[in-house]
Amino acid sequence: MVTEQSAKTVLNNPFISLRHRNFRFYFAGMCVSTVGTWMQNTAQPWLAYSLTNSALLLSVVSALQFLPALLFSLFAGVIIDRLPKKPMLILTQSLSLVITFGLWLLASSGGIQYWHLLVSASLLGIVNTLDMPLRQAFVVEMVGHEDLTNAIALNSLTFNAARMIGPSLAGIVMGSFGVASCFLINSLSFGAVLISLFFIQPVVCEKPREQQKQGMFESIGEGLRHIGQNESLMITMVFLIVISTFALNYGVAVPVFAQQILGLSETGYGFLLSSLGGGALLGALLVASLSKSGPRRFILYVLPAVTGLVLIVIGFTNSFVTTGVSLALGGFLFVTYLSTANSNIQIQTEDRFRGRVMSVYSLILAGSSPLGSLFVGAADNWFGARMGFIACGVAVLVLIIPVYLLMAARQNRM
């Protein structure tokens, strides 16, 4: 096990994990694919809101995309621990390509309807239930344990660079060529990952284990006990539940806020999301630079409260500039926390439990989104576009208080 170092932090090379050939191919493929994903993540909510003019119906699309993770993530973790990861990744990326290509065909024909979005979101949600923890667990097989923390941070860097670039491109593409073009670009971008996987040879050879003779539910229980018996893992997971439920709903809150409060068009909306991505990119770069120092307690236990405060501030902004700056700060805080939490979870986890533990991570991160999306959609729908951000910020602050009290009580008993 690795614990947090008390020595003074020294910034290291934030790209050190790229020395591994396998990870260089993977990183290149993901750089392309995540831009396409964020273009679709920008276009899909805009299209849903344009078709329905309802924040609540928009939130349903987002909720359906994450609902399968809530139902099936734990089962996916057992599968990941039992089967070779590279062939499974080829399968999930291929299915994602087909689904998004079908969405492009519907949108480009001009006959797309709201229920089409519900179906495509559900199908992508099913595929992502396996794909999300699978990608997390696959990293160690490309870089080993020494550079694992840095590779996790670089994955976050890629994701958030795309969060900055993708929405801007999506806004331009939607304004120039229509929403459907974003779905086509995303579909083609999955091909970049498939090509990269062709060149990757995992450094960890998976062999049959004794645990594979266990039943599905017995294996799930073993993974959950592993988390419950590790205090650092458990507390990190609890904080993650709160943050992922109430601080990860920009896809629902921002398009409504952009139209109703700021009066923005597609291009303005895209640039607003890019400011969020810019802050997130800086957060990921910071974590990558600090990766040799291990997860920082300040980030793990204090940043959630600061994130809640910033969400409240966003709800009271009135201009494109102030909203953009506030979103950038929110993105910086959220991604700094999330990357650090991911690193802490993987460092504290034994290899034989990695798939199951990361499936719980994905379950929390994606499975909490249906509740959070519906919470934001209902708040915006009933109390106005500002209330989605404000209510989420208040919820974060209120719900983390019991965790702080529990931590203080444990500290007093020591």
Residue pair 76/133 in contact (Cβ under 8 Å)? The answer is yes
Under the banding of pLDDT at 50, 70 and 90, the label for residue 186 is very high
Residue from 178, 199, 132, 179 nearest 355 by CA: 132
Neighbours of 333 (CB within 10 A): 25
Contact call for residues 134 and 359 (beta carbons, < 8 A): no
Please give the Cα distance from 66 to 62 (Å, whole number). 7
Q: Which residue has the higher pLDDT, 370 or 281?
A: 281
The per-residue DSSP string of 257-321 comes to HHHHTS---HHHHHHHHHHHHHHHHHHHHHHHHTGGG---HHHHHTHHHHHHHHHHHHHT--SHH
In this model, does residue 291 exceed pLDDT 80?
A: no
Banded model confidence at residue 24, pLDDT cuts 50, 70, 90 = very high
Q: Is the pLDDT at 2 greater than 70, yes or no?
A: no
pLDDT (mean) for 384-398: 89
CA angle at 233 for the pair 232 and 237, rounded to the nearest 5°? 115
Does residue 8 have a pLDDT over 50? no
Say what the pLDDT of residue 309 is: 93
Of residues 316 and 335, which shows the higher confidence score?
Answer: 316
Write down the pLDDT at residue 182. Answer: 93
Q: Assess if CATH 1.20.1250.20 describes domain 16-202+216-413.
A: yes
Please report how many Cα atoms fall inside a 13 Å half-sphere around the Cα of residue 354, on the Cβ side: 24
Contact by Cβ (8 Å): 269, 146: no
Q: List Cα–Cα distances, 94 to 77, 99, 126, 358, in angstroms.
A: 20, 9, 13, 22
pLDDT digits (tens, 9 = 90+) for 245-282: 888 777 778 888 888 888 887 778 878 877 887 888 78
- Contact predicate 311/392, CB 8 Å: yes
Q: Band the pLDDT of 210: cuts 50, 70, 90.
A: very low
Percentage of the chain surpassing pLDDT 90?
A: 23
pLDDT score of 317 more than 80: yes
